[in-house]
DNA sequence: CTCAATATAGAACATTATCCCGTATTTCCG
DNA sequence: CGGAAATACGGGATAATGTTCTATATTGAG
């Protein structure tokens, strides 16, 4: 997975991140190459797992998902089967967009997108009834200042 | 921005979120329609801002970005020009993938992707030298349990 | 029920992705 | 250095796809 990327690869990735709908000819022109090498490089980077997927990003508010919470979780349980159960619960719930296991006294952080505070509470009640959790703090986002999937290349 | 979406629109969005590279014919077949209406609906949803962009997702580790931090920020300053400056600083830094203004005693949360802890420290030092911040807590991600851009439709 | 407005399917055309091939460039080893 | 092997390149051929058009079907309002 330690893919070696040269300058050309990185330029191509920058273009694809910016707009994956543009044509190969256009990308080739912008990065100063031609269609075939660009196509081969993209193919290789997909195979190597550098490019994981091609998708569209949607406007959450337009879909009626107007609330975003960051959830800080402490747990007293650290056994393998508890963790597996917790993990499965998160994977199953589409409102959980991100979940990280952390170092330090907070064990997990979640990013949760829901319709409103009521929907968050329903999610929260369902989660704690399914897996034992010691302590939860929810941070409510008032404003999404920045949100990007673009990684610096 | 309160776009009204019917079942067909939602099916199309689900398909596009799953794989934006598939052809119109394929999407049309899956959602039980044909090319033209699917194309028209996608066009409309782009115009309406429901679909904001088409992009590729990259594997951060493969790019050498192996560390992810969530940064909890408290500030004593709440004036407009401080906020504008802070906002600009975040926008300019590509390692800041997300930034939210919060309700409650923590004012902001950031998600920051960097090469390693050293790179985070450089980012952190640069940020606090640029804007006055009262209190910072960094949460280090040990493991990305879940990460998706797919919104439930 | 009737008319108007909108959505649809399929065909026609334009653009693009994909693959092939001959040439140029780089790399590696003597 | 020099030369051979491997790799990368540019441009063209072809298959696939996106885009637009038109005639028909469906829906909704009065």
Q: Which strand C bases fall within 7 angstroms of a protein CB?
A: 7-11, 15-21
> Could you report the per-residue pLDDT of B118-136, keeping only the tens digit for each?
999 999 999 999 999 999 9
Q: How far is A30 from chain B (nearest CA, A)?
A: 17
DSSP A96-153: EEEEEEESSS--EEEEEEESSHHHHHHHHHHHHHHS--SEEEEEEEEEEEEE------
CA of B63 to C1' of C15 (A): 33
A111 vs A140: CA distance, rounded Å: 10
* Beta-carbon separation of A51 and B61 below 8 A: no
What are the tens digits of pLDDT across the range B90-117? Answer: 999 999 999 999 999 999 999 999 999 9
The yes-or-no verdict on residue B1 having pLDDT over 60 is no
Query: Residues 124-153, chain A: which have Cβ within 8 Å of B?
Result: 139-153
Interatomic CA distance for residues A2 and B63, integer angstroms: 8
User: Do A108 and A100 form a contact (C-beta atoms < 8 A)?
Assistant: yes
Task: Indicate yes or no: CB of B61 within 8 angstroms of CB of A113.
Answer: no
Question: A52 vs A149, A150, B40, CA distance in Å?
Answer: 12, 13, 28
Percentage of chain B exceeding pLDDT 90:
92
pLDDT of residue A18: 97
DSSP structure string for B37-79: HHHHHHHHHHHTTSEEEEEEEE-TGGGT--EEEEEEEE-S---
The burial of A12, by beta-carbon neighbours within 10 Å (0-12 exposed, 13-18 middle, 19 or more buried), is given as buried
pLDDT at residue number B151: 98
Cα gap B85→B83, rounded to integer Å: 5
CA of B43 to C1' of C3 (A): 29
CA of A87 to C1' of C15 (A): 45
Are B139 and A109 in contact (CB < 8 Å)? yes
**B143–A53 CB contact, under 8 Å:** no
Task: Output the pLDDT for position A78.
Answer: 80
- pLDDT averages per 10-residue partition of chain A, 153 residues: 81 97 95 94 94 97 96 91 95 98 96 98 96 95 98 96
Question: Does B114 lie at the interface with A, CB-CB under 8 angstroms?
Answer: no
Q: Which residues from B are below 8 Å from A109, CB to CB?
A: 70, 139, 141
Give the other-Cβ count within 10 Å of B153's Cβ: 20
Q: Which chain A positions have a beta carbon within 8 Å of B53's beta carbon?
A: 19, 56-57
Report the C-alpha gap between A100 and B70 in whole angstroms. 10
The whole-angstrom distance between B51's CA and the closest CA on chain A is 5
Residue A53 distance to chain B (closest CA, Å): 5
Flag whether pLDDT at B10 surpasses 90.
Answer: yes
Residue B35 binned pLDDT confidence (cut-offs 50, 70, 90): very high
> With 90 as the cut, is the pLDDT of residue B70 above it?
yes
What Å value separates CA B2 and C1' D25? Answer: 29
Contact yes or no for B27/B41 (Cβ under 8 A): no
Decide if B140 contacts B67 (C-beta within 8 A). yes
State pTM to two decimals.
Answer: 0.92
Q: Does A14 touch chain B (CB under 8 A)?
A: no
The shortest CB-CB distance from B59 to any of A50, A60, A108 is to: A50
Mean per-residue pLDDT over chain B, rounded? 95
The pLDDT, as a whole number, for residue A2 is: 56
pLDDT of residue B85: 94
Asked if A95 reaches chain B (Cβ–Cβ under 8 Å), the answer is yes
- Spatial distance from the CA of B37 to the C1' of D18 (Å): 13
């Amino acid at each position: 997975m330690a893919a070696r990327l040269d300058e050309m690869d990185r330029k191509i990735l920058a273009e694809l991140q910016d707009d994956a709908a543009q044509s190969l000819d256009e990308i080739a022109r912008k990065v100063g190459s031609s269609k075939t090498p660009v196509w081969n490089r993209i193919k290789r980077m997909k195979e190597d797992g550098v490019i994981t997927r091609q998708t569209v990003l949607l406007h959450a508010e337009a879909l009626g998902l107007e609330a975003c919470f960051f959830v800080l979780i402490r747990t007293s349980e650290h056994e393998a089967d508890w963790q597996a159960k917790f993990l499965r619960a998160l994977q199953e719930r589409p409102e959980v967009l991100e979940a990280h296991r952390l170092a330090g006294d907070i064990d997990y952080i979640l990013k949760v997108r829901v319709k409103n505070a009521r929907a968050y509470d329903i999610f929260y009640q369902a989660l704690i009834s399914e897996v034992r959790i010691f302590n939860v703090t929810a941070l409510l986002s008032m404003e999404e200042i920045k949100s990007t999937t673009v990684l610096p290349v």
